[in-house]
A and B are shown apart, each in its own frame.
Chain A
Amino acid sequence: MTTTTFEPWVRKRPAWAVIASKEFSDHLLSVRFVALLAIMGMVALATVYTAAVELRDVAPQTVGEPGLFLRLFTVASDTLRLSFLQFIGLLAPILGIAYGFDAVNGERSQGTLPRLVSQPIHRDDVINGKFVAGLGVVGLTVVIVAFLVAGLGIFLLGVVPGPGEIIRLIAWTLAAIAYIGVWLAFATLCSVMTRRAATSAIVSIGVWLLLAIFGSMIFELLAGVISPVIAGDPFSEAANLRTQIALSRISPITLYQEASTVLLSPGVRTVGLVTLEQLDRAILSRLSFGQSVLLVWPQLVGMVAATVVIFAFAYIRFMRQEVRA
Chain B
Amino acid sequence: MASRTPLIEARKLTKKYGDLAAVNGINLSIAAGEVFGLLGPNGAGKTTTILMLLGLTEPTSGSARVGGLDPTREPLAVKRRVGYMPDAVGFYEDMTGRENLRYTARLNEVEDELVEDRIQTLLEEVGLADAADSPVGTYSRGMRQRLGVADALVKDPQVVILDEPTAAIDPQGVADMLELIRNLAHRDGRAVLLSSHLLHQVQEICDRIAIFVKGKVVAEGTPDELGAKLAKGQARFEVVADTTEEALRGALGDQVTVRGEGSRWQVTLPSAQTRSVLRKLVDADIPVRGLTDLNADLDEIYRRYFEREEVSA
From B66-74, B252-260, B297-305, the one touching the partner chain is B66-74
A305 to B106, CA, bound (A): 33
Contact with A along B106-118 (1 / 0, CB 8 A): 1111000000000
Given contacts A110-B90, A122-B75, A323-B57, whether A5 and B107 have CB atoms under 8 Å apart is no
> Which residues of the partner chain A approach B66 to less than 8 Å between Cβ atoms?
6
Partner of A117, one of B7, B56, B92, B189: B56
Query: Smallest Cβ distance from B175 to chain A, in angstroms?
Result: 25
Determine which residue in B32, B74, B92, B107 has the highest number of CB atoms from chain A within 10 A of its CB, and name it: B107
Question: Are A6 and B51 in contact, CB atoms less than 8 angstroms apart?
Answer: no
Determine which residue in B32, B78, B79, B90 has the highest number of CB atoms from chain A within 10 A of its CB, and name it: B90
List residues of A (99-121) whose CB comes within 8 Å of B's CBs.
Answer: 110-121
A5 to B158, CA, bound (A): 10
B86 in contact (CB, < 8 A): yes
B123 in contact (CB, < 8 A): no
B47 in contact (CB, < 8 A): yes
Chain A at the B interface: SS class:
loop
From A10-18, A89-97, A139-147, the one touching the partner chain is A10-18
Question: Are A118 and B74 in contact, CB atoms less than 8 angstroms apart?
Answer: no
Question: Are A119 and B67 in contact, CB atoms less than 8 angstroms apart?
Answer: no
A2 to B68, CA, bound (A): 13
Question: Are B67 and A120 in contact, CB atoms less than 8 angstroms apart?
Answer: no
> Which residues of the partner chain B approach A15 to less than 8 Å between Cβ atoms?
107
Chain B at the A interface: SS class:
loop
A9 to B151, CA, bound (A): 20
> Which residues of the partner chain A approach B86 to less than 8 Å between Cβ atoms?
111, 114-115, 118
A12 to B108, CA, bound (A): 10
B140 in contact (CB, < 8 A): no
Question: Are A112 and B77 in contact, CB atoms less than 8 angstroms apart?
Answer: no
Q: Place the interface of chain B in its size category.
A: 35 or more
A31 to B167, CA, bound (A): 34
Question: Are B47 and A324 in contact, CB atoms less than 8 angstroms apart?
Answer: yes
Question: Are B7 and A11 in contact, CB atoms less than 8 angstroms apart?
Answer: no
B243 in contact (CB, < 8 A): no
A169 to B47, CA, bound (A): 54
Question: Are A12 and B109 in contact, CB atoms less than 8 angstroms apart?
Answer: yes
A293 to B62, CA, bound (A): 58
Query: Smallest Cβ distance from B171 to chain A, in angstroms?
Result: 24
- Of all chain A residues, which has the CB nearest B1? A1
Given contacts A117-B56, A122-B75, A324-B51, whether A2 and B32 have CB atoms under 8 Å apart is yes
B6 in contact (CB, < 8 A): yes
Contact with B along A7-31 (1 / 0, CB 8 A): 1111111010011001000100000
> Which residues of the partner chain B approach A1 to less than 8 Å between Cβ atoms?
4, 32
Question: Are B5 and A4 in contact, CB atoms less than 8 angstroms apart?
Answer: yes
Offer 18 A-B interface pairs, CB within 8 angstroms, sorted by A. A1-B4, A1-B32, A5-B69, A6-B66, A6-B81, A6-B158, A9-B76, A13-B109, A18-B106, A110-B93, A111-B88, A113-B90, A115-B148, A118-B56, A119-B155, A121-B76, A323-B56, A324-B51
Nearest 6 Cβ contacts at the A-B interface = A111-B90, A6-B67, A5-B68, A114-B86, A120-B80, A119-B107
A residues in contact (CB < 8 Å) with B: 1-2, 4-13, 15, 18-19, 22, 26, 110-122, 322-324
